[in-house]
Structures are given as structure tokens and as C-alpha cells.
Amino acid sequence: MSDSVETAAVAAPAPGTSTQPAPTHTGQSGTVVRSTVLRRLFKNPLGIVAMAILLVISLLAVLAPVLAPFEENYSNIAKTLAAPDSVNILGTDSAGRDVWSRLLFGAQLTLLSALLCAGVAIAIGLPAGLIAGYYAGKFEAVSNWVVSILMSLPGLIVLLTIRAAFGPSVWISMIAFGILISPSYFRLTRTAVQSVRNELYVDAARVSGLSDWSIIARHIFSVVRAPIIIQTAAIAGVAIAIQSGLEFLGLGDPSKATWGVMLSEGFKNVYLTPTLLFWPALAMALTIGGLVLLGNAIRDALEDGEKIKHRKKKATLEGSTAAPAAARPSRKSVAAVDAGTEHHLVKVTNLGVGYPQADGSIKKVVDDVSFHVDRGEILGIVGESGSGKSQTAFSILGLLPDNARIVAGSIQFDGNYTVAPGEELVSQARLSKLRGRRISYIPQEPMSNLDPAFTIGYQLVTPMVRVLGIAKEEARKRALKLLTDVGITNPERTFNAYPHEVSGGMAQRVLIAGAISCEPDLVIADEPTTALDVTVQADVLDLLRELQQRLNIGVILVTHNFGVVADLCDRVAVMQNGRLVEEGSVRDILRNPKEPYTRTLLASMLEGKTPMSMLVSRQKEPVA
Amino acid sequence: MSTTENDPVPAAPLLSVDHLVVEYPSKKFRAKPFRALTDINITIGRGETLGLVGESGSGKTTLGRAVLGLAPVTGGKIIFEGKDISHATRRQRRTLSRDLQVVFQDPYTSLNPALEIGAILAEPLGVQGMEQTAAKKRVKELLDQVGLPSDAIHRLPREFSGGQRQRVAIARALALSPKLIVCDEPVSALDLSTQARVLDLFLQIQKDTGVSYLFVSHDLDVVRHISHRVAVMYHGEIVEQGPADVVTRDPEHPYTQRLLLASPVPDPDRQEQRRADRHRLLEIQRHQKEQAGAVA
């Protein structure tokens, strides 16, 4: 997540090798919670209840021959439809058979048939899915055909036909149902395998010479294991329902006790002894319910990360009502900014941004950061990942995640507070009037910031129509002019193109065109050239410089590249671990850095270094 | 296990690639296949680093993958230690993996998130049939070699930062003491200072073990720093290759010239100079193109 550990190692000018501190420390990435899925399952009351139910039912089924007072088909003609008594604790049915005994033997058969069905489905679906997903090609094409045919068959009718052909056997009908239901495993497995087939770690295993089977067993099977378990819980439930359904219709083997047969028997006598219907129905409800709940509990256990997030949010609210709110009363009217600072386009004063943690503390990602940007000026914010540079930019834009809090300081834009001192959230009401109109944004990944479903023209025109209130035709003309301005040779074609039809450099030009379309005063560019090729980067930098000078806008350029800084910026702020380490004019910082951290960063630049020389180890002596 | 077991000629390069062509079959019916690489010729000697530089889509990654047997070789030969490996079977690859290894770009997807670091590092050792106790010892050595704490063995990849993960990936590549490591953009996902330390590590390992690198990168500065020789790729072809110092300071091919001047330097005034040089170069090249067009 972050390189905080690495960064810490750089910052400390410890001599010797580059041994890292033991990553037990809770840096930007926080503590890592690791527990087994099983342990999490046992912490979930739902999981415990479900497992307890299933365990009890399985035990009863296994011990049926011992526990049952009678044979499953032993009938006492003298005592039919009897009420419960000390001999027949649940009463007897219309043939005088003991309900309790039949329920126990029925559990045996019902559970086994469910297992058989799931087993058959897995035995067919899982290997087929693994092979189809991993190798693709002909096998996949053929198996997709077979699967489509299987899925188009009307299941119940097939089962009835099989019953007619092979007689009333639970096992045969469950095998057939297993085959019918195997496509669900096939599809699940194939999709999961496809998603990891091209992962680099699979490539690495291939390079190591692992055979395909070992790769599937070691690297690919682990991806499908969890969904298969969840699926099996559901399938077993369905199998019980289907099997009982068939027998309820009277298609089962009358010589065997199953819950379905008992249900059928109970239904015939529903007016005489309604409880006959109740017991098998209860057993089925408990078993199927247990299976479904178990499936849910396993899913919850596997998605533990989600839960921590929820808790975090709750803690956020508690934390926010407790300490800071009391200390800093919120005001309806926004205070005026300090006199003498109105002329700055943006002024950030002692800004702190934090994320409340589960234990009630607040993890600060931006701490005591102050800087300002004037019109026509480019400020570079430089830092490594986890330095808080993007968080700072996002707090000016008002695009911080919901659970982020402004824990200190203020932000003012053109003489008005967007975040007044004492406020702990960015006021969306104030910022939405500014965003797009006066403050705009150029993102890092050009491709993921254009909607693939709309043409580039549409995505440029719509904001202009909305924000500037101009007619569509007028906006179209402007968009074409903007595209020409950003150096696109055939603007008409780009205007009508979808994002996937243009290159990355072109997409970034389009986003820059979008950013300046509403004539903003401030542009915040977050690593605008990082995803681009070096030659394209040079073109985009030229474009940014030319536009900035022509329109006299203020720019905040977030980057990690000192070359880009040297190319564009007037002033630089260096950030590390959420703090502003050093700020000054670009020449001062790049030529005479005061802070050791800035020096370390600059020393890591490769430009001008003797090839094949050690970079960090060499530079360690002169520090201190 | 392989068919020819003859000793390599001492003077012969470790790896040589002759007239390599890689084509991907097109998805459309009867359409022309997509040609990713055209007539590639490179050699890498023992203990040497060949830097491969180019823009995205230039085929530099594909060349690395072809050497590793992860891309379809349509024409030409890849010869490693005197043996033709362009169509090596999986069994031959297994033998080959002792000598030929890889470090990928993305340290986040190149390690299986479900396996502990120890298991990841032991995997190539297990394939070669090393015993568990010996493998364990070797894993400890490897962690030490790449500067990771030994308690990393029982931790999962997600507990490590990008730079540390890349160290794990390097350790995995080193596990069998290979003769050649294909490094596919191994530092481009890393922070500046992390990149510097990982580059140091690559150099140190080469110094200690005499391993050769095929070092793929889009960053001319990185390639200049780590390579003995540099090859420049453009649209699936190698347009220029030679000693690192020459290619990265005084390039001949127009693309390399553009590439060199496009990479910004960390000083405002020198960068302004370079910017001006670049604009001048672009002007000249455009001029030449027009003239060439007029002549033709």
C-alpha cells in the first residue's frame, strides 16, 4: 500500500546496509490483521448456529441405527396415526410406522443423496471449469456448448423421464440432478480461473518450470476453493429440496424412508394428523436453512476486510462528536479570511487531514501543511507514495473520501474559505460552485477518467452546457476549438471517437481540454504525465506550460518526478509522511536543498550519475 | 533431459537471438496475425547487462517474454548456452529455469497473494527437487541477500510495501542462482528512493554472482545506469544498439534522439536548454521527413 517502511529507512541516515526496520510498526498501512477463515467463522454467531444445526442433524443421521427404536419399515397395524406417547415419541403414521425412527433413517438417505448430488456436480464442473479456464481454446468452446445444452434442458422433466426409465431410485435421480446442475460449478470455476490465468505470478511459475497441473493445484485452485465451498452449501440445499419434491409427488422409492416420502404421507393425512406433515418439514427447513446460513457465514468470513471498514465509519462518528466538535463550534456563516491574504488564489494554512481508526485515534495523513499559490504560478508538490501529496490536493478539490476528516487548519480560495478554521469537513455546498468552474482537475490515469460508454465530444460538451449555460451547438464549437488548442490535429475525428479509440497521450490531451474548458483560475494536476511515455510526456508538459502562460492560471502540480518539476514549476513544496519538509523556489530547492530528505530524493535521481555506481550507499557518507 | 548436452563454446554469448519474429494470431477469422516483433537480433554475454528501451507497445516486453517462453516464436532462433530454446517444451523449460529467471514489473501481481513469502521462494527450489530442509536454508540466505528480515518467511505479500515485494520477486529469481535474469520494468512501479535502492541491489547481485540481465525499461536514465549495452526498440524492431554510453548520449536514430531529449533533467535552466534542443530537433526531423517525402 505504501512505501512508508522504505521511506523511513531512507530518512534515517543510518550507516551500513539497507536493512529495513522490522515491519511491525504501524505506518501508513496500519496494522495487518490476519486470522484464519475458520477462526472468523467461529466468531460469527450465524456460523456457529448453522454449524451446530448441521452437526446435530448429521450425528442423528449417522447414529440412526442406534438411536431409532424401530426399523424404518416396521409397522404396527394396531396402532396407526397414533398420537405421541412413551413408545412412539412422535407418534405413528397411517401404516403404524414410528415417525421418529423414520425421521432418523430419512435423514441418512436425504443427506447422503444431497452429498451425492453435490459430489457429482463438483466432479464434473470443477475439473472441466479449471481446464476450460486455464487452457481456453477448443476445450472451452466445446464445453461451453455442452453447458448451454445442459442448462436449456427442463430439469424436472428430465428427472421424471429418468425415473420412468430407471425406476424409483434416489441415487440415480440424484446423479442425474448432479449432472444437470454441474454447469453452475463449471461457470463459477471458469470465470475465477480466467481472472487469474494471466496474472504475473502464474507466468513466474511457468518460468520456474512448474507443470500445468502443479500450477493449477498451487496457484489457481486456491482462487476457486472459497466460492466452491459456498456454492456447495447452496447446491446441497437445492438438492434436498428437489429430491424431496420428487418424492412428495410420489415418485420416490416407497420402501425407503426419506423426508420427501414422509412429507407425501403426511400430506395424505393432513386432516387426520397434521403433525405428520410438520416433522419432516421441520427437519428439511432446519437442514436447508443451516446450509444457506453456513454459506453466508463462510462468505462473511472471507470478506472480513469489509467489516473493519464499517466499524471504522462508526468510530468516525463517535470520534467526531466527542473531542473536536466540542472544542470547535461549527458556524453557519463563513468567517472572513485573514486580512492581507485575499490576493492569494489558494492559501492552505496548517492543514491536517486524518482518518479515524477503529480504536478511536486519528491517523493523520496530512499534518500541518501550509502553502499558497498565486495566479499565473505553478507550484509543484513533490513526494513519494504515502507522503500525503494527493490527499492535500484532494482536500483543496473537496474530493476526500467520506471518512476523511480535516483535523486542523483552513483552506481559502480567492479570498474565501472553502474550509474555515474549525471546520472538519470540506463544505461541498461551497466547493461544488467552484469545482469545474474555477477549480479543475487533471488526473493521473487518462483512460480510467473517461467514460467508455460516451464519445469524447459528449463528455466535453455536457459539462460546458451545464456549467457555463451555453447552447449545445456553441459548446460543440468550443470543444472543437479546445481540441485544436491542445494540439490534436484532427479534432473532428477525436470529437466523435470513443475513449478506447484514442491513445493514452491523446486521452490526456482530451482531459486537459476538459479541464480548461470552463476557463478555471486554478488547475490541480495529479501526476498528469506519470502514465505516459516519455516522448508523450514532453509534449503534454509543453502543452500545459503553453496553456498556463496563455490563460494565466494557477497550477498545483502533484508529482514524484523532479524532471517534471524543473520543466514546469516556479516553486516547489517537498512532502514526506504527511508533512511539508521544505518549500521554496524551484532553483533553490533543486540546487541547494536544505533538508536531508530532499537531498536523499535528489540523490536518487539517475541523471548525471556514473553508470553502474551504487546510488544510495555511495551517497550515505556525505550526509550528516 | 534436453536433447543436446554439448558444452557451450567459451567465447559464445550466453544468449543470442537471431532474426526473431513473434506474431500473435488474430482473433478475427482469416485475418492477418499481429506482428509484435520483427527481425530481432541481440546477444548477451556472461555477466553483461543488455538494456532494452522503448515506448509502450514497442515490443520490448514481448521480447523478454519470448526469451522466457511466454510468447509464441514464429520465426528465427533463441539460443541460450548453445542450445536452441525457441520452442523448448515445458520439461526442457524446467531444466532451463535453473539458468533463466524473471523479475516482473508489477510487484503487486507477480506474487501469489495467498502464499507466504517462504512458500513463494521455495517454489522454484521444490521444482528442482531440493529437499525441504535445504530449501529452508536457501530461502533464509536469499532473504538475507536481498535485505529482507528473516521473519518475512511466514508473512503474506500484502504485508509488504512495493519495494519490499520487488525484493521478494528478485529473491525468487535468484533462488536457483541463474545465469540470466530477464527484468521486465522491475523498478518502474517504485518510488524514486526505492528505485535507487533496488537498482543498487541489482548491481550488487551482478557483482557478487556474475549474473547477466536483459533489462527492459521505458526509462532511458535507468537503462543508462544499469546497462553495459543498450538496444532501442521502436514499433517492434530494434532501431539502434551499442555500448550504453554511446547510445544514451550520442544516439543516431531519430527516435532515440527524441527519446533522449524528452526525458527532463532536474534543473530548471538545463531543462530549458534541453527543451529548446528538443524543439529544434523535432523541427529538423520534420524538415527531413518533408524532404524525404518530396524526393520520393
ipTM: 0.85
To 5 degrees, how large is the angle CA B237–CA B238–CA B243?
175
Reported as a single tens digit per residue, the pLDDT across A342-401 is 889 999 999 999 998 878 888 889 999 999 999 999 999 998 888 899 899 999 998 888
Residues whose CB falls within 8 Å of the CB of residue B181, separated by 6 or more in sequence, listed in order:
B100, B101, B102, B103, B173, B174, B211, B212, B213, B214
Q: Of A333 and B167, which is predicted with more confidence? A: B167
Average pLDDT over every residue of A209-222: 86
**Nearest-CA distance from B12 to chain A in Å?**
24
Reported as a single tens digit per residue, the pLDDT across A145-200 is 999 999 999 988 898 898 889 888 888 989 999 999 999 999 999 998 998 888 88
This model's pTM is above 0.90: no
Q: Of A31 and B100, which is predicted with more confidence? A: B100
Closest partner CB to B159 (pick from A4, A23, A587): A23
**Nearest-CA distance from A244 to chain B in Å?**
40
Q: What is the pLDDT of residue A67?
A: 87
Task: Give the mutation candidate from B112, B232, B261 for the A interface (greatest A CB count, under 10 A).
Answer: B112
Residues 69..128 of B with a Cβ closer than 8 Å to A: which?
69-70, 90-91, 93-97, 100-102, 104-106, 109-112, 114-115, 123-124, 127
Residues whose CB falls within 8 Å of the CB of residue A184, separated by 6 or more in sequence, listed in order:
A121, A125, A231, A235
User: Measured between alpha carbons, how far is A89 from A75 in angstroms, rounded to an integer?
Assistant: 15
Contact A567 B275 (CB under 8 A): yes
Closest partner CB to B191 (pick from A385, A565, A602): A385
Whether A10 has a pLDDT exceeding 80, the answer reads no
Residues whose CB falls within 8 Å of the CB of residue B231, separated by 6 or more in sequence, listed in order:
B42, B50, B51, B52, B53, B238, B240, B241, B247
User: Measured between alpha carbons, how far is A190 from A89 in angstroms, rounded to an integer?
Assistant: 50
Q: Quick check: B145 contacting A, CB < 8 Å?
A: no
Q: What is the pLDDT of residue A334?
A: 64
Reduced to 3 states (helix: H, G, I; strand: E, B; else coil), residue B179 is coil
Query: Which triple of cell numbers denotes residue B151?
Result: 521473519
Q: Quick check: B275 contacting A, CB < 8 Å?
A: yes
Reported as a single tens digit per residue, the pLDDT across B34-87 is 889 999 999 999 999 999 999 888 899 999 999 999 999 999 999 999 999 999
Reported as a single tens digit per residue, the pLDDT across A44-86 is 888 899 999 999 999 999 998 888 888 888 888 888 888 888 8
Contact B245 A542 (CB under 8 A): no
Residue type, B162: G
Q: Quick one: DSSP state of residue A578?
A: T
Contact B191 A6 (CB under 8 A): yes
Chain A's closest residue to B268, CA to CA, is A566
Whether A23 has a pLDDT exceeding 50, the answer reads no
Confidence category of residue A330, pLDDT binned at 50, 70, 90? very low
Q: Cα dihedral angle (B9, B14, B19, B20), rounded to 10 degrees?
A: 140
Q: Quick check: B217 contacting A, CB < 8 Å?
A: no
Q: Quick check: B172 contacting A, CB < 8 Å?
A: yes
Task: Give the mutation candidate from A206, A207, A221, A562 for the B interface (greatest B CB count, under 10 A).
Answer: A207
Closest partner CB to A201 (pick from B91, B112, B192): B112
**Nearest-CA distance from B123 to chain A in Å?**
8
For chain B, how long is the longest CA-to-CA vector?
72
